[in-house]
């Protein structure tokens, strides 16, 4: 059973508009949620995270929202730029181990 799901394999938006990437989870024990970005032929790089005690975290153009009751989080990118085109992974972790469980990723394409 997949504990972290990204139901949209791909998303295409116009430059300057908002990109919204969604992620759902099933394990209520998760206490940290992270977003990673991955370009081809590179490893994932950390983008932004949120603790389960918060419902919003913002860093520049990137904002993550957490809705614990719905077990849902989303990443908002405003404004979207062509350089944001990449695969975005949602990840969740809990407990001492802190090992992350990843979603399957959403490929974002930002068109000029």
Partner 1 sequence: DADVTQTPRNRITKTGKRIMLECSQTKGHDRMYWYRQDPGLGLRLIYYSFDVKDINKGEISDGYSVSRQAQAKFSLSLESAIPNQTALYFCATSDSAGAEAFFGQGTRLTVV
Binding site for partner 1 (CB under 8 A): 4, 6, 9, 31-32, 34, 36, 41-46, 49, 51, 89, 93, 95-105
Cβ nearer to partner 1, comparing 14 with 27 = 27
Cβ nearer to partner 1, comparing 82 with 95 = 95
Write down the least CB distance from residue 8 to partner 1, Å: 13
d(CA 68, CA 54): 9
Write down the least CB distance from residue 11 to partner 1, Å: 15
Residue with tokens 């300057």: 16
DSSP string across 34-66: EEEEE-TTS--EEEEEEETT-SEEEETTEEEEE
């Amino acid at each position: 059973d997949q504990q972290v799901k990204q139901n949209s394999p791909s998303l295409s938006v116009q430059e300057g508009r908002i990109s919204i990437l969604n992620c759902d989870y099933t394990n209520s024990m998760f206490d940290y949620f992270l977003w990673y970005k991955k370009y081809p032929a590179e490893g994932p790089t950390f983008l932004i995270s949120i603790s389960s005690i918060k419902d919003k975290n913002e860093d520049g153009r990137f904002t993550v929202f957490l809705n614990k009751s719905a077990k849902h989080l989303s990443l908002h990118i405003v404004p979207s730029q062509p350089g944001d085109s990449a695969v975005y992974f949602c990840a969740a972790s809990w407990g001492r181990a802190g090992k992350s469980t990843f979603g399957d990723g959403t490929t974002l394409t930002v068109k000029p």
